[in-house]
Amino acid sequence: AYEAQGFEWESEGLRLVGDAQVKLKALRGAQTTFEALRKANPGDVQANLRLGTIYKKLAASAAAANRDDLLTRSDQAIRRALADASAPAERAEAYSLLGSNAKSRWLADWHDAAVAARGGAALGSPRLADALASYLSAYAENLVGYYAGANALALLKIQGALAQQEPDT
């Protein structure tokens, strides 16, 4: 990836190497490669979507202290992609990724709560609504996108069950 920089085929070379790194699960290298691609072309929707995914995957295996920073970097990359996305499929992917990040944060909000308090904590977390809104936006962009639709439906079912279980919340 380093050797591709500065050539007229830099973007294509970086994308090819970065995709191979992602496939190999060499996420730190892929992060560096896609950041170089973003630097060369800040409005590259696919590079920003890839960065959003890479930062999310890095957050999943990171120490708790670094997890929120990596999810924030993921959100930033996704929002850059969303600002430049012109195709409904690109916007749907961006909203789905935002939903996934919000869902990760929502799970973290109640994961460590006492068992008896988990339902109330899960229902009371604003990140449930954030995740649901993002998945619904993704589904509205691409009605054949089953991933976003299935996640929205699952979260609605969970929200309903929690509301019945925790009427005071």
- The 10s digit of each residue's pLDDT in 84-136 is 999 999 999 999 999 999 999 999 999 999 999 999 999 999 999 999 999 99
pLDDT above 70 (res 69) = yes
Q: In the predicted model, what is the mean pLDDT of the chain?
A: 93
pLDDT in tens, 10-33: 778 889 999 999 999 999 999 999
pLDDT above 70 (res 6) = no
Cβ pair 82, 76 in contact under 8 A: no
Strand, coil or helix: what is 143? Answer: coil
Cβ pair 105, 97 in contact under 8 A: no
Helix (H) or strand (E) holding 24: none
CA dihedral 44, 49, 51, 55 (to 10 degrees): 160
DSSP category for residue 2? G
pLDDT at 9: 65
Query: What's the pTM value of the predicted model, to 2 decimals?
Result: 0.90
Q: Which residue has the tokens 């560096």?
A: 32
Backbone φ and ψ of 44, nearest 5°: -75, 105
40 burial type by CB count under 10 A (0-12 exposed, 13-18 middle, 19+ buried): middle
pLDDT above 70 (res 2) = no
Q: How far apart are CA 42 and CA 17, in angstroms?
A: 18
